[in-house]
Amino acid sequence: MFYVYVLRSFRDNNFYTGFTRNLKKRFVEHQNGQNLSTKGRIPFKLIYYEAYLLEEDALNRERYLKTSMGKRVLKKQLSSFIKMLKSDKIAIVSD
């Protein structure tokens, strides 16, 4: 399986979108600061992922979600979650 995932940074409250073959291992790498692009933004919470059978499909989806249109689609899809974050109705604890 191939995964496209979205993390939320507790440091800056922004999202990070990535691709991996091993979601659990990749999340641990992010949490441990082993990824240069996210090292300064730890800790994270995994808030969304999609699974694909083909690597090409997952890479295409990751590229799309990183575009301005893809970000809008993702924000719309996660709109209830984002509203709860903004209203502080939920507290997310880092795992």
Which fold is adopted by the domain 2-87?
Answer: GIY-YIG endonuclease (3.40.1440)
- What are the distances in angstroms from CA 26 to CA 4, 32, 85, 87, 90? 11, 10, 24, 30, 25
- Quick count: other Cβ atoms within 10 Å of Cβ 29? 14
pLDDT tens per residue across span 54-83? 999 999 999 999 999 999 999 999 988 888
- Quick count: other Cβ atoms within 10 Å of Cβ 68? 7
pLDDT tens per residue across span 16-51? 999 999 999 999 999 999 988 899 899 999 999 999
Q: What distance in Å separates the CA atoms of residue 13 and residue 11, rounded to the nearest whole number?
A: 6
